């Protein structure tokens, strides 16, 4: 059995609410380190909100120093405008991970479900039930966006082989970062 990285930051991107979870793996045991959301103000313009999301992810990476980042990926909203705006948020999140030189796993929702429940067709309730069980929590993390971030991180801890194909090669940290 291939074991995954030992500390993973999982992220569920959004411009309004970005959920995240940090999961630690010790051998075959997984545990939740922290989860929450990065909220941005609806009154702010898109560039300001993107800056808040980027700074939030940079802060999480600096504080936890994860081995890998898992980003819920390639979700196509029904509305094309929603898809474009979601792309903006994912862009600055992938950037923060690339700037830190981390391995990045981009995981479609079905792969996250499969890694956690055994089936890509699992319901949200099944995923939440298994997330709570695998992390020995009384209930699934809240709010739902935070739970989705935790699920992404957990998927990489549990099934590195499943997701390895989507991982990008680690980059060297940025030589010239914005000052």
Which residues are tagged catalytic? Answer: 12, 72, 145
Buried b / exposed e over 62-72, threshold 16 CB at 10 Å, is: eebebbbbbbb
Candidate segments 4-12, 19-27, 122-130, 166-174, binder of its own copies by CB under 8 A: 166-174
Q: Does 35 bind its own copies (CB under 8 A)?
A: no
Angle between helices 109-117 and 144-158 (to 10 degrees): 70
The tokens for 18 are 């970005």
| C-alpha triplet 110, 114, 117: angle, nearest 5° | 130
Rounded CA gap, 146 and 143, in Å? 5
Q: Does 105 bind its own copies (CB under 8 A)?
A: no
* H or E segment and range at residue 68: strand 68-72
Looking at 3, 41, 46, 139, which residue binds its own copies (CB under 8 A)? 46
Give the count of beta carbons closer than 10 Å to the beta carbon of residue 5: 21
Candidate segments 18-26, 30-38, 91-99, 117-125, binder of its own copies by CB under 8 A: 91-99
Looking at 28, 42, 81, 165, which residue binds its own copies (CB under 8 A)? 81
Looking at 26, 47, 138, 165, which residue binds its own copies (CB under 8 A)? 47
Q: How many residues of this chain interact with its own copies, rule: CB under 8 A?
A: 41
Q: Which residues bind its own copies (CB under 8 A)?
A: 45-48, 50-51, 54-55, 58-59, 62, 74, 76, 80-81, 83-92, 94-99, 104, 106, 168-169, 171, 174, 176-179
């Amino acid at each position: 059995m291939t074991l995954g990285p030992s500390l993973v930051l999982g992220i569920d991107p959004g411009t309004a609410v970005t959920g995240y979870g940090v999961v630690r793996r010790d051998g075959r045991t997984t545990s939740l380190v922290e989860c929450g959301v990065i909220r941005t103000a609806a009154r702010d313009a898109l560039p300001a909100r993107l800056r808040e999301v980027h700074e939030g992810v940079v802060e999480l990476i600096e504080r936890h120093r994860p081995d890998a980042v898992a980003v819920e990926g390639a979700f196509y909203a029904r509305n094309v405008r929603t898809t474009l705006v979601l792309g903006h948020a994912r862009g600055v999140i992938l950037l923060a991970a690339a700037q830190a030189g981390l391995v990045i796993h981009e995981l479609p929702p079905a792969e996250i479900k499969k890694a956690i429940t055994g089936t890509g067709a699992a319901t949200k309730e099944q995923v939440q039930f298994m997330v709570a069980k695998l992390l020995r929590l009384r209930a699934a993390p809240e709010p739902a966006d935070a739970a989705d971030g935790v699920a992404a991180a957990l998927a990489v801890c549990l099934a590195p082989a499943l997701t390895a194909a989507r991982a990008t090669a680690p980059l060297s940290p940025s030589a010239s970062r914005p000052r």
